[in-house]
Structure formats: C-alpha cells, structure tokens
Amino acid sequence: MSLLVLLVMVIALAGWLTARLRRYALVRSLVDVPNARSSHQIPTPRGGGVAIVVSFLLVLPLMEWLGVMAGAMVIALWGAGAWVAIVGFVDDHRHIAARWRLLAHFLGACWLLYWLPELPPLMLLGHVLELGWLGYALAALFLVWLLNLYNFMDGIDGIASVEALTVCMGGAAIYFLLDQPVLALAPTLLAAAVGGFLFWNFPPAKIFMGDAGSGFLGLMLGGLALHAAWVDPVLLWSWLIMLGVFVVDATWTLLHRLLRRERVFEAHRSHAYQFAARKYASHRAVTLTVLAINVLWLMPWALVAALQWVDGVIALACAYIPLFWLALRFKAGYAETERSV
C-alpha cells in the first residue's frame, strides 16, 4: 500500500467518523450551549475528536511493522493515548472532578514513560545532560501540562486542529530535510487524522473536538516530541518551538491567573486568542493567524534549531519573544472587566 493511499484512507476515515459522531452527539444531546464563559454563539455538538483518536490508533501499530518506531514506543503511545481519550470521553458525557482528571492524566503520562528504556538526554546550550529520575519527573509534568494546555486552548473553531496539523507537518518537514523521511510517517498520519476532522471543525465549526480529542492530541504531540529527542536531542527544541503559540498563551494565562488567586481549572475566556477572537469578531481570522504564525515564523526557527545553526534554547527564546508580546498585547489572563485592547 502506497503512503498516499494510506493517508487518503486515514483522512477519509476521520472525516466519516466525525460525521457519525456529530449525528451521535445530536441524538444524545451532547451539545455545548453558549454561556458567559463560551467563545461560540450557537449550540454546537461536541466529541468529534474521538474520530482523530480512532483513526490514528488504528494505524499506529504500522509504525513498528515499518521500522519507524520501536515496539515499546508504539505501546507507550497507544496505551496512554487510549486511556486519556477514554477519560476525556467520559468527561464529555458526565463531568469528572478536576483532581480525578489530573490523576488520570498523570497515570497516562507514567504509562508512556514506563515503556521508554530511558529518557533521551537533554541538549542545553551545547551541553548534553543526563537527568536521571529528575528527568522522568520533569517529563511527566511536561506531558501532563501539554495535555491540559491543549484542552485550555481548544476554545474557538478550528484552532486546536490547525495547531496539531501544522506542528505535525512541520515536524515531518524537518525529518525530510534531515534526510530521515521514514520518521516523518508518524506525524504525517496524525496530521491526516486531524485533517479529516478539520473538514467539520473549520470555522464555522459543525462539531467541537471535546476533551477526548484535545487531551489525546496534547499527549500525542508530547510523545512525538520525546520520540524526536531520541532521534536527536536537539529536535526536542524544534518541537517546543513549533508548539509555541499554545505553550506561551496557555502558560502565560495560567501564571497570571495563579497570581490573581483564581481557580485555574474553572472555565474562562481570558486567553489571548479568545480576546483576539472577540476583538475581531472572527474565529476564522484568529485561527488563520495561528496558521500563519506557525508556518511563517515558528517553523523556520524550528528548522534553524534542528540544523544546529543556532542553539535550540536561543532559537526557542527568539521564536517566543513575539508570542509573549502578543500575550501582553491582548492582556492574556486578565478578567474581561479589567482589560481593554
């Protein structure tokens, strides 16, 4: 089977499953009704991200068969991804308390890390660091944070899908430019699964991703970043650079709300992208802006880091500076009554 045929099949499967899930959500009244903390205006079915989960997990075992990933890595991603998606699916149907969700997320992260023979070393300013058990603790926090920030950032039509699609294609492009095209298969297949869902999720969205999809994507992107670090430790910085829009907005907003002693797991509309969507009265404009930032700004910096033309930490700092400026510009983390753009 050619790669092109496989990609078309994954896209088609994800699109078809999304259509079926939309029908299921409407029948079961799984609908997000707009409220004071919502960024959408009309009731919209949710839970379509399950299509991404099923489509990608079905083809993930091919990674071992084709020699793209070690079997342990496939087990790690499959088990952790399925677990987090199930927890999200239950939460989409009946609310799970934040503390139990967080515990479940750490269990998923621990499963993923358990199957790794050891953590890849960390390349920091030209020095290779073996972090030992501290590295596992930091890696667990990294995976859980990425999982949750993806949930936080899935607040307007298409943004989480576009982020995953561009990050995966950016990672695949870097593998091709480093003359390792086989390694591009995993992120390309995840991008294909997201692409089939995006047909229904692009503004104006006909269905939302839901916690099952957003949590799964956050964890899979974190897992693929760790896999990239096994190929070359410097590639971890490339993946972090490509994830910059979500990392900066979510982290800046969280820290600001913590300083204000707000309940950080309570729904809100104080992310920079949410303020921007309201200011310009367009989800599509903000989502396309994220697409442009990823392709025109973050991907080049990720490539510069991958080619080691600039140290990864320095490249990340340069790439993130304008993103922090945008967070400041749109006063991310402020209450709506305390800010004006």
Annotated binding site: 151, 211
Number of C-alpha atoms within 13 angstroms, CB side, residue 188? Answer: 20
CB 20 within 8 A of CB 187: no
Cβ contacts of residue 136 below 8 Å, gap of 6+? 113, 119
Instruction: Supply 273's token pair.
Output: 């992208």
CB-CB contact of 235 with 116 (8 Å)? no
Q: Which residues of 292-316 are buried (b: 16+ CB within 10 A; e: fewer)?
A: ebbeebbbebbbbbbeeeebbbebb
- Structure token pair of residue 269: 């509309």
Helices 272-279 and 312-329 pack at an angle, to 10 degrees, of 40
Element (H, E) at 98: helix 98-114
Angle at the Cα of 246 (from 241 to 247), degrees rounded to 5?
A: 60
Task: Tell me the Cα Rg of the chain.
Answer: 19
Count the neighbouring beta carbons within 10 Å of the beta carbon of residue 98: 14
The DSSP call for residue 162 is: H
Give the residue ranges of the annotated binding site for Mg(2+): 151, 211
